[in-house]
Amino acid sequence: MKKILFITIIFLNITNFKSFASDSLNIINKKVNFGFATNSNRSINSVIVHSTFNNSGGDKYDIDLVIKQFSTYVVSAHYVIGRDGEIYQLVDEKDNSYHAGKSSLPDGTTNVNSCSIGIELMTSYTESPTEEQTKALLNLINDIKTRYPIKYVLRHSDIAPVRKTDPWNFDWDSFKKRLEAIKK
Ligand SMILES: [Zn+2]
């Protein structure tokens, strides 16, 4: 009897944790019709973290203005995370979003868009990501890791060091430590 109770408690804890993890991800649909290639056969093994903001006048953190700017350059990302931690999805994970550009992974892969999920944090050149954004990023990457064998979680500046400096003003070492700490 005791054993059954013990197992039940463990089971409840696991299911509670799982429902907590998915409940905390409130994804807002902002799917776009540009800046990606359909590809339902791709193998995802990387997550690339970026920074972006609307640099074309108006609110620099307005998601619709950021998307409009992406449309001008025919680029995208799978997700954009707003200043309050809201997560917008622009492209289906199964498709190749154009977020990485000319870049390469540590294992030599150069077509990074084909095997990665791109996540943009809305930050400017002078502001850091907020704690809410950082938490949302941790939750989102953790969720992605449950669905794909993720080999690399990297900054855009790691895969295109000559061209790119994003994500800006982000304590990456501290972020990676928090991400590692989530691992069971
Ligand atoms: Zn970038």
Asked, for residue 21, whether it belongs to a domain, the answer is no
Give the number of domains in the chain: 1
Helix, strand or coil for residue 88?
strand
- Please give the distance, rounded to the nearest whole angstrom, from the Cα atom of residue 121 to the centre of ligand 1: 9
Structural domain span for residue 70? 26-182
- For ligand 1, the distance from its centroid to the CA atom of residue 166, given in whole angstroms, is 5
Mean pLDDT of 169-174: 98
The structure's pTM equals 0.87
Residue 67 domain-assigned?
A: yes
Residue 40 lies in a domain: yes
The pLDDT tens digits of the residues spanning 19-42 come to 344 456 899 999 999 999 999 999
120 is annotated as an active-site residue? yes
Q: Is residue 89 part of a domain?
A: yes
Confirm whether 18 is domain-assigned: no
98 CA to centre of ligand 1 in angstroms: 10
pLDDT tens for residues 50-91? 999 999 999 999 999 999 999 999 999 999 999 999 999 999
Give CA separation, 72 vs 34, 35, 75, 124, 180, in Å.
10, 10, 8, 19, 37
Please enumerate in sequence order all residues whose Cβ is within 8 A of that of 88, keeping only pairs 6 or more positions apart, or say none: 27, 28, 29, 30, 63, 79, 80, 81, 82
Among the listed residues 120, 131, 132, 180, the single catalytic one is 120
pLDDT tens digit sequence for 129-156: 999 999 999 999 999 999 999 999 999 9
Q: What backbone torsions phi and psi does residue 99 show, to the nearest 5 degrees?
A: -125, -25
Q: Is residue 8 part of a domain?
A: no
User: What spacing in Å lies between the alpha carbon of 101 and ligand 1's midpoint?
Assistant: 9
- Distance, in Å, from the CA atom of 12 to the CA atom of 9, rounded to the nearest integer, reads 5
For residues 170 and 178, what is the distance between their CA atoms, to the nearest angstrom? 13
* CATH assignment of the domain containing 104: 3.40.80.10
Q: Is 48 part of any domain?
A: yes
138 inside domain: yes
The neighbour count for residue 100, using CB atoms within 10 Å, is: 27
